[in-house]
């Protein structure tokens, strides 16, 4: 699907500003809910969050981060044991493989420091733009894009910010219509909107504060 034309972008920009204003009132202090104490723990938590809830990840990382305190603990971890440690987050084979491989690459290639660039993060196994944006924004205060998780993906369609389904193209469309100063907070406000009002299960939207924007083309 081709990029939106200028007329569509202009229309979406105007509507986006109204929606952002409402989201700020609804969720003035929205923020990441994953628990972590350093950039690598954040990276681990975000990788674990794929296809599961942040609440479930936080349950797992309470013990995980107590057991694996340093980068070397991950580098030297037994993969089968690590899989058991993260089993309840689902897709634990791939998640364990990605996390432990990332630990080794970070130690060997990045001198023990989680990369603070988009390019560096995307070179790690299991890291796509969503994860990279979350780590950059929360660990380093760098905003290079918009993290498109399941809530952002779904609600960007509901709010007619995009006609795309691919996260990378959705991010492109959002970056074209949202002021850059709003990129970081937008993700967490939309997530809270999805959790508290416009849930993924079928509903009539009567109690969705942004329902007036749902049906506009």
d(CA 167, CA 163): 11
d(CA 207, CA 175): 28
Catalytic residue, candidates 54, 85, 95, 130:
130
Q: Is 113 a catalytic residue?
A: no
Catalytic residue, candidates 54, 85, 149, 173:
149
Q: What one-character DSSP code corresponds to residue 29?
A: T
Q: Which three-class secondary structure string do you get for 90-108?
A: CCHHHHHHHHHHHHHHHHH
Burial of 206 (0-12, 13-18, 19+ CB in 10 A): exposed
Q: Is 166 a catalytic residue?
A: no
Catalytic site positions:
130, 149
């Amino acid at each position: 699907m081709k990029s939106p034309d200028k007329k569509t972008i202009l229309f979406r920009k105007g509507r986006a500003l109204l929606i952002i204003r409402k989201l700020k009132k609804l969720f003035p202090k929205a923020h990441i809910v994953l628990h972590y104490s350093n950039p690598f723990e954040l990276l681990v938590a975000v990788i674990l969050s794929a296809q599961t809830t942040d609440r479930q990840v936080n349950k797992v990382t309470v013990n995980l981060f107590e057991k694996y305190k340093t980068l070397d603990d991950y580098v030297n971890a037994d993969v089968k044991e690590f899989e058991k440690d993260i089993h309840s987050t689902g897709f634990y084979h791939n998640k364990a493989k990605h996390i432990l491989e990332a630990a080794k690459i970070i130690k060997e290639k990045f001198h023990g420091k989680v990369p603070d660039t988009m390019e560096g993060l995307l070179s790690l196994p299991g890291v796509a733009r969503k994860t990279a944006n979350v780590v950059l924004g929360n660990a380093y205060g760098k905003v290079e894009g918009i993290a498109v998780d399941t809530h952002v993906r779904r609600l960007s369609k509901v709010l007619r910010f995009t006609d795309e389904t691919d996260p990378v193209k959705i991010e492109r469309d959002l970056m074209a219509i949202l002021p850059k100063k709003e990129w970081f907070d937008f993700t967490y406000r939309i997530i809270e909107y999805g959790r508290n009002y416009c849930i993924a299960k079928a509903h009539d939207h009567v109690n969705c504060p942004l329902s007036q924007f749902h049906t506009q083309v």
